[in-house]
Amino acid sequence: MTSRKFFVGGNWKMNGDKKSLGDLINTLNSAKINADTEVVCGAPSIYLDFTRSKLDAKIGVAAQNCYKVAKGAFTGEISPAMIKDCGVEWVILGHSERRHVFGESDELIGQKVAHALESGLGVIACIGEKLDEREAGITEKVVFAQTKVIADNVKDWSKVVIAYEPVWAIGTGKTASPQQAQEVHDKLRQWMKANISEDVANSVRIIYGGSVTGATCKELASQKDVDGFLVGGASLKPEFVDIINAKA
């Protein structure tokens, strides 16, 4: 059994300005953060440089998306090369808002994962079912298909974190119960064992996202296959520190 370092990502989404994010960064810099937890903040692309320059080096920074090539005529896009040039070491890919608000396909997300990893970025790759899919009983089918497209594009799993985010729980205030989260995380690990390798299944961190708060984080963190969180709204508030320290 490989020990997996607890991982907490904050996804700021399209929120904040220099003043409010500067205040949040000061809070994080002065907070007592469990050294056994890896922390990464996902900043809007226009604030990546600002965030990386202000945030303590012990906290990582992620872009919230990127494109599948290094440069070119792709108006409005950013590349892994640009992200790295800002000193940023992670990118979030395949978030449900990218999939369902902006229509990104599994295929495109797979191509982005491949290029980001080839460029030396760490990838927080998101998967998760919608409410109608869960109600139809096809949760596993959906998340396995999404995971397969990611897996087909990964050579080095040490740079990948899988974020399971049931879409029906994102920003809705509904959280999957700790048992529901554990069940899917366990099934994902079994899928990885069967389709990638036992080593990868045991070492890859599978984190949970979907209305994680200071109130829900401790019980979720106690589940054996929940290796951390991808936090949305609460990552913009001081309670993010409580979530980071859920395992402390």
Helix (H) or strand (E) holding 42: strand 37-42
Q: List Cα–Cα distances, 206 to 27, 52, 75, in angstroms.
A: 27, 25, 33
Which entry of 38, 95, 115, 129 is annotated as an active-site residue? 95
Which entry of 38, 104, 165, 185 is annotated as an active-site residue? 165
Show the tokens assigned to 168.
């029906």
Q: Are 229 and 243 in contact (CB under 8 A)?
A: yes
Q: Is 135 a catalytic residue?
A: no
Q: Is 185 a catalytic residue?
A: no
Strand 90-93 relative to strand 205-209, pairing:
unpaired
Q: List Cα–Cα distances, 68 to 108, 111, 134, 163, 214, in angstroms.
A: 8, 6, 30, 20, 35
**Which residues, in sequence order, are CB contacts of 34 under 8 Å at separation 6+?**
6, 244, 245, 247, 248
| Residues known to be catalytic | 95, 165
